[in-house]
Amino acid sequence: MSAKKILIVDDEVDLVETIRFLLEMEGYRVLVSGDGEDALHQARKENPHLIILDIMLPKLDGYKVCRQLKSDERYKKIPILMLTARAQQKDRIVGTEAGADEYITKPFDLAAFIEKIKTYLRKEQ
């Protein structure tokens, strides 16, 4: 069985590398994107099993990326976990309306976050 693919979309390099390291240690194949346009391209090309998506991104924000993927039959079942510094209730509402499966604010508990990812990937099987 091949490793499940996770796409991390964030322009904060240190955070991406930390999450990538932990996920690779768990045996996942990790793809990385630093902007919204590239994220859409990679999601459509690679069809990942799960996407970790920041909101504030160059070129195309995370809300738009999420909306476009969730409105497409081919990708709408991919769980999207929004991971963002935007913690206001109105941001959560927009994230949920865009189709995010989870809305997690920074700072966050890394161990709990990894467990949440595992839970989503188990559901998908």
pLDDT for 32-81, tens place per residue? 999 999 999 999 999 999 999 999 999 999 999 999 999 999 999 999 99
Domain count, the chain: 1
The region that residue 29 occupies, defined by phi over 0 for left and psi between -120 and 50 for alpha, beta otherwise, is beta
pTM comes to 0.95
Question: Is the four-CA dihedral 10, 72, 116, 108 of positive or negative sign?
Answer: positive
**Cα–Cα–Cα angle for 74, 80, 86, nearest 5°?**
140
Q: Where are the beta strands (DSSP E) in the chain?
A: 5-9, 29-33, 50-53, 80-84, 102-105
| pLDDT given for residue 123 in this prediction | 81
Check which CATH number belongs to the domain holding 119 and give it. 3.40.50.2300
C-alpha count within 13 angstroms, C-beta hemisphere, residue 79: 20
Q: 125: pLDDT confidence band, cut at 50, 70 and 90?
A: low
Question: Is the four-CA dihedral 18, 115, 50, 110 of positive or negative sign?
Answer: negative
**Domain membership of residue 48 as a residue range:** 5-124
Closest CA to 46 of 75, 11, 80: 75
Residues 19, 30, 75, 57, Cα dihedral to 10°: 50
pLDDT at 124 > cutoff 90: no
